[in-house]
Amino acid sequence: MIINSIKYGNLKKSDEKNRILTIGNFDGVHQGHKKLLEYCVNRAAKLNIVSSVITFCPHPRIFFQLDPKQECIQTIRDKCEEIFKTGIQQIILARFNSSLSNTSATEFVSKQLVHNLNMVELVVGEDFQFGKNREGNIRLLKKLGTKYDFTTTTISNEKYKTSKISSSLLREVSREGDFDSVKYLRNSNLKVSGHVCHGKKLGRQLDYPTINIKIPNEFCFSGVFVVKTFSRSEFCNLNGNYGIANIGTRPTVENCGRKLLEVYVLDWSGNAYGAMVTVEIIKKISDEENLNNLVELKDKIKKDECLAREFIRVNHEKRSKIKKFQ
């Protein structure tokens, strides 16, 4: 049985197992994605076949270097973990290259999906397009299904207010700092995971030591946030500790720096270097600023800490009142 299997590379002939497939970027793994993925899981169990997801790496827009640049709201690691949580058995990170980019929609289906992956059912959103010049659509899939003996199932879009729930909408509201909407669109807070790495140790000089996690430069949002931190390593005792996190390029201390996630964990001290840590984004409290010096930076961090502690206090009081009347 295939369980939590990740394959990376070209879509070559792999095995003889029949598959139900879905294809997409799945950035943010929102409610619409989960509806589609859960259908695949339930259908695979009923038919005793493998549920698989195909997502392209790099994203086609990045490969073609198109403007505006393709952004993301989460790392590939976090995306894969959330997909697996739905019960999907296999994720195929298909290498997007010049060969694949020049493959016609018909050849992609017949050679890659049917012949190489033994697809018996394809599950997609109602506005799905694919193949060279996006020439493939639902109508073509239905036609090819008759010829190559597979079923195409379309899943209706989920709505948020008057808009379709999509990764684009998710990235838009995160850029605006609306993490209440991010939580609604995903049914959970956004989480960012990674190994804690060494930084420049400037936080120690400012009396605000941080744990640092590298993130993709394509991350679509930045700023200062109230977060919770969880460690997956036994030697690091983070277990839902609150913190304030800066996501950005640190313009006060770096010129053209790469994006980094820095977390000052409130009322905590310890060694986290090398630990795998998950940071749960709860609320944005301010923007990242380009300040004149480290003194101004420390003053800014103090203000952000006060805002974070006040938010945490009010939040605890609200939860206590809810529990009291339950």
DSSP string, 298-313: HHHHHHHHHHHHHHHH
Q: How many angstroms separate the CA atoms of 191 and 105, rounded? A: 35
DSSP string, 239-286: EEEEEEEEEE--TTT-SSPPPEEEEEETT-----TT-EEEEEEEEEEE
pLDDT of residue 34: 97
Strand partners, 165: none
Give the domains, in start order, of the chain with CATH numbers: 5-156 (3.40.50.620), 173-319 (2.40.30.30)
pLDDT of residue 256: 66
166 versus 199: the higher-pLDDT residue is 166
pLDDT of residue 219: 95
Q: Are strands 119-125 and 151-155 parallel, antiparallel or unpaired?
A: parallel
Whether pLDDT at 315 is above 80: yes
Mean pLDDT of 23-31: 96
pLDDT of residue 323: 67
Region of poorest pLDDT, from 57-61, 123-127, 216-220, 281-285: 57-61
Q: Give Cα separations from 257 to 234, 247, 251, 260, 287 (angstroms).
A: 32, 12, 7, 9, 17
pLDDT of residue 326: 60
Whether pLDDT at 206 is above 90: no
pLDDT of residue 22: 97
Distance from the Cα of residue 12 to its chain's centroid: 26
Whether pLDDT at 292 is above 80: yes
Q: How many angstroms separate the CA atoms of 71 and 216, rounded? A: 9
Q: Which two tokens stand for residue 175?
A: 């850029």
Mean pLDDT of 48-76: 92
Rg of the chain over CA atoms, in angstroms? 22
pLDDT of residue 5: 86
Mean pLDDT of 175-188: 97
Mean pLDDT of 114-119: 94
Q: Which two tokens stand for residue 243?
A: 């913190």
pLDDT of residue 52: 96
Mean pLDDT of 212-232: 95
Q: How confident is the model at residue 324 (pLDDT cuts 50, 70, 90)?
A: low
Whether pLDDT at 255 is above 70: no
Mean pLDDT of 50-66: 91
Q: How many angstroms separate the CA atoms of 130 and 113, rounded? A: 13
Whether pLDDT at 232 is above 90: no
In this structure, the chain runs to a length of: 326
Tokens 């380009």 belong to residue: 290
Enumerate residues 6+ apart whose C-beta is below 8 A from 133: none
Q: Which two tokens stand for residue 217?
A: 């430069």
pLDDT of residue 168: 95
Decide if 213 contacts 78 (C-beta within 8 A).
no
Enumerate residues 6+ apart whose C-beta is below 8 A from 159: 165
Whether pLDDT at 202 is above 90: no
> Taking CA 34 as the corner, what is the angle to CA 28 and CA 36, rounded to the nearest 5 degrees?
120
Whether pLDDT at 231 is above 70: yes
Q: Give Cα separations from 99 to 10, 63, 96, 102, 103 (angstroms).
A: 10, 12, 8, 5, 7
Q: How confident is the model at residue 15 (pLDDT cuts 50, 70, 90)?
A: confident
Look over the chain and give the mean of its residue pLDDT values, rounded to a whole number. Answer: 91
Q: How many angstroms separate the CA atoms of 174 and 171, rounded? A: 5
Mean pLDDT of 197-210: 83
Q: Give Cα separations from 146 to 4, 120, 121, 324 (angstroms).
A: 31, 11, 12, 60
pTM, 2 dp: 0.92
DSSP string, 209-239: --EEEE--TTB---EEEEEEEEE-STT---E
Q: How confident is the model at residue 325 (pLDDT cuts 50, 70, 90)?
A: low
Region of poorest pLDDT, from 9-18, 175-184, 212-221, 280-289: 9-18
